[in-house]
Amino acid sequence: MLTGEDALIAAEEVCAATGARVRDLSALVAAAAVPGTRIGGIPVHRDRAEARAALAEAVARLQPLTGGNDALARVLDRIAFG
């Protein structure tokens, strides 16, 4: 499971590599929550592929960094899905 702390560590690494900075911490944590979201114990996403796509879309829409969000999405994907 991807945590907000995992996402912040990943974001700091991406920022160090790209010169970006965290623009919105809440957006970063919200994006991290997407792939593992459950309602009443039932997963929101049908399968791994749908969860991966939703994570990428969340990062793209929320833009938690001032730059390098594509790189962040790839790193978060690796953390969440291996």
Residue 16 has pLDDT above 90, yes or no: yes
Which residue segment(s) compose the domain that 36 sits in?
4-81
Query: How many whole angstroms separate alpha carbon 37 and alpha carbon 18?
Result: 29
pTM of the entire predicted model: 0.95
53-74, pLDDT tens digit by residue?
999 999 999 999 999 999 999 9
Strands 38-39 and 42-43, bridge-based pairing = antiparallel
Nearest in space to 51 (alpha carbons), one of 32, 25, 29, 27: 32
Residue 51 has pLDDT above 90, yes or no: yes
pLDDT at position 11 = 98
20-37, pLDDT tens digit by residue?
999 999 999 999 999 999
Counted domains in the chain: 1
